[in-house]
Structure 1
Amino acid sequence: MGILSRTSYVIRSKINALLNRAEDPTETLDYSYEKMRDELQQVKQGIADLTTQKKRLEIQKRRLEENVEKHNDQAREAVRQDREDLARQALQKKQAKMNQIEELDAQIAGLQETQDSLVQKKNELQGRIEEFRTKKETMKARYEAAEASSRVSEAMSGVGDEMSDVGRALERAEEQTDEMEARSAAMDELVDEGAFDEVLSDKDAIERELEAGRSDAEVDTELETLKSEMGKSSAPAEDAESDSDVDVESDVETDVEADVDVADEEVEAELEELRSEDESS
């Protein structure tokens, strides 16, 4: 097989495959049915034309028959008038008309046979068309049912084009959702770590470290205060010594305060005596 032959064969094969995929059996059946109906219509039109021609010949035959009767009357009248020559002419015309009538009879008979044959073929064709129409509707119903069943099966199995598109859309949506969730989690983590606070703050690294140290010191102080209030201490030995010193100082302060209270009472008593003497005098 030469290159051109192989190329032609491949091209025809491709075209045939494309036509098979593009062909809709229901449309093909409808087209075939319409073609058969067109043929039936043409047959009916042919029968009608043939019938018209036959009717024209029959009309012509009737006119010739009328002329034959007319020429027969003319010949009789000529004989009564002793005009043999006129009678002969009338009879000759009568004979010519009768010959034409015979020819018309033959033509009319032939047209009638053709008409009968066409009518029979028309009836057979019409019967075939009706039978084909029944089969066509049955085949269309079967094809549409099979097509619907195939679509349902494809939808159930997810192998159809539309279901594949839906599946791909769901996958893309899921990927985008996962990406957005991961991005949101990363942003929350950065916010918790204070990454954005450092970026937006005007303080340098040293100031931030100093503030962190002060904050730690304040936290330690507050923690020690809480421990003191709850009777706990982080350094027991030192706290014991400091507690003894505090107790001695407290005793000294108490004695001083007692002495001050006694002196105040004596001064008040003397002032009261002086007031009484003044009033008596």
Structure 2
Amino acid sequence: MGIFSRTRDIVAANFADLLDKAEDPAKMIRMIILEMEETLVEVRASAARTIADQKEMRRHIAKLDQLQTNWTEKAELALSKDREDLAKAALMERQKAADMADQLKAEVQVLDDGLRASEEDIAKLQGRLREARNKQSTIQTRLESANNRYRLRDAYAGPKTQEAFSRFGELERRADEAEGRAEAMGLGVSKSLEDEIAELRQSDRVDADLAALKARLNKSEG
């Protein structure tokens, strides 16, 4: 069953209210647009039939107008020949053609009124269809934005990211343990001659730095 039952339902519809009540707004707006497009096709098809009917009726009216002219000429000919009876009969036939033409003209007028109403409906439907498509674009943009935000948040705060960082912590702990084992292996081991000389050099550099620092301080105080 469709969302709308007639053109005026579409024109009077509150899209925002329909979307607020929908479980899936994106699906609802697609359904609304589809039904509006189908209704627009139907209204245009009806207008096309009306225009075709008008054309046919106007052809009949033209034939009837010509028939009236013919009967008028025949009536004039009969009178010129002193046949008033035939002239009267011809005029009666002309009147029948005139009555039929008048009836068809009235029907054409009714169709004209209906066609103008169809044109107004088509204009309103097109306007509402543009509005619905704009809302669809807005909804699509909002959905894409929300999905992008979700992916970004999942990237920096999601369970996979948390799991990855927890693994980093485990790796750091393993590195600490490995370094600790290496350092522990050096405990209690006698230093080599090169190590002791390197320590002496390091001590000399520290002593030199300390002496330079004391000299600067004494100079600044003096």
Q: Same fold (TM over 0.5)?
A: yes
**Equivalent in the alignment of 1:16:** none
- The 5 A counterparts of 1:25-174 are 25-159=25-159, 163=160
Change (3 A) 1:167 1:28: farther
Structure of larger gyration radius = 1
Q: Deviations over 1:28-73 (max 9, x none)?
A: 4233222211211111111111111111111111111110111001
**What secondary structure, in the 3-state scheme, does the structure 1 residue paired with 2:128 have?**
helix
**What secondary structure, in the 3-state scheme, does the structure 2 residue paired with 1:149 have?**
helix
Amino acid corresponding to residue 54 of structure 1 in structure 2: Q
Quote the offset at 1:167 in angstroms: 5.2
Amino acid corresponding to residue 104 of structure 1 in structure 2: L
Indicate conservation of the 8 Å contact 2:67/2:97, yes or no.
Answer: yes
**Equivalent in the alignment of 2:173:** none
Write the distance in 2 (CA, Å) between the matches of 1:167 and 1:86. 110
Higher relative contact order (CA 8 A, sep 6+): 2
Quote the offset at 1:128 in angstroms: 1.1
Where in structure 1 are there 5+ consecutive unaligned residues? Answer: 1-18, 175-281
Amino acid corresponding to residue 78 of structure 1 in structure 2: A
Give aligned-pair identity as a percent: 25
Write the distance in 2 (CA, Å) between the matches of 1:167 and 1:30. 40
After TM superposition, the score normalised by the length of structure 1 is: 0.48
Write the distance in 2 (CA, Å) between the matches of 1:92 and 1:151. 87
Write the distance in 2 (CA, Å) between the matches of 1:69 and 1:146. 76
**What secondary structure, in the 3-state scheme, does the structure 2 residue paired with 1:128 have?**
helix
**What secondary structure, in the 3-state scheme, does the structure 2 residue paired with 1:59 have?**
helix
**What secondary structure, in the 3-state scheme, does the structure 2 residue paired with 1:82 have?**
coil
Write the distance in 1 (CA, Å) between the matches of 2:81 and 2:61. 30
Write the distance in 1 (CA, Å) between the matches of 2:129 and 2:94. 51
Amino acid corresponding to residue 119 of structure 1 in structure 2: E
After TM superposition, the score normalised by the length of structure 2 is: 0.59
**What secondary structure, in the 3-state scheme, does the structure 1 residue paired with 2:101 have?**
helix
- The 5 A counterparts of 1:262-273 are none
Q: How many residues align?
A: 147
Write the distance in 1 (CA, Å) between the matches of 2:49 and 2:113. 14
Indicate conservation of the 8 Å contact 2:61/2:101, yes or no.
Answer: yes
Write the distance in 2 (CA, Å) between the matches of 1:134 and 1:158. 34
Where in structure 2 are there 5+ consecutive unaligned residues? Answer: 1-21, 171-222
